[in-house]
């Protein structure tokens, strides 16, 4: 499995001028083997106002992992990345035993994390 960050899905959904095609290519290559936190769905709703995100995630092959109080506690205890949102993603990855993330965010350039984009 590969974790996918909210920015890649956002670029894909909005056909972002600079990163849309690259995001689409990553989703097509890794589809069905992708996972993200339910936090991502909320963030995508806030950013896009889309309300059919469950169907979109299912159609493009992105599995959802629950944001639990344990994951949140672990995220709050981390020193990096700087943003809590990114620490939640990292904690979710650790919980799932995943060390690879598709992200345009260099905050994930951390020891033990393979970031592709």
Confidence (pLDDT) at 47: 96
List Cβ neighbours of 7 (8 Å cut-off, separation of 6 or more): 19, 103, 104, 105
Q: What is d(CA 117, CA 115) in angstroms, rounded to the nearest whole number?
A: 7
What pTM was computed for the model? 0.93
Q: 100 - beta bridge partners?
A: 114
**Residue 20 CB contacts under 8 Å (≥ 6 apart), including other chains:** 11, 12, 14
The hierarchical CATH code for the domain 2-103 is 3.40.50.1010
Handedness of CA 32, 36, 39, 42 (dihedral sign): negative
**Mean pLDDT for all residues in the chain:** 96
pLDDT digits (tens, 9 = 90+) for 72-102: 999 999 999 999 999 999 999 999 999 999 9
* Domain locations in the chain as residue ranges: 2-103
Dump pLDDT digits (tens) for 48-70. 999 999 999 999 999 999 999 99
- The pLDDT-based confidence of 31 (bands split at 50, 70, 90) is confident
């Amino acid at each position: 499995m590969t974790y996918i960050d909210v920015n890649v899905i956002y670029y894909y959904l909005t056909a972002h001028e600079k990163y849309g095609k690259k995001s689409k290519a990553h989703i097509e290559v890794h589809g069905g083997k992708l996972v993200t936190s339910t936090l991502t769905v909320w963030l995508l709703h806030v950013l896009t106002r889309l309300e059919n995100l469950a169907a979109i995630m299912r159609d493009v092959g992105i599995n959802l992992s629950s944001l639990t109080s344990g994951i949140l506690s672990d995220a709050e205890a981390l020193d990096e990345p700087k943003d809590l949102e990114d620490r939640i993603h990292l904690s979710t990855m650790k919980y799932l035993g995943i060390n690879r993330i598709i992200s345009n965010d260099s905050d994930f350039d951390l020891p033990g994390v393979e970031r592709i984009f």
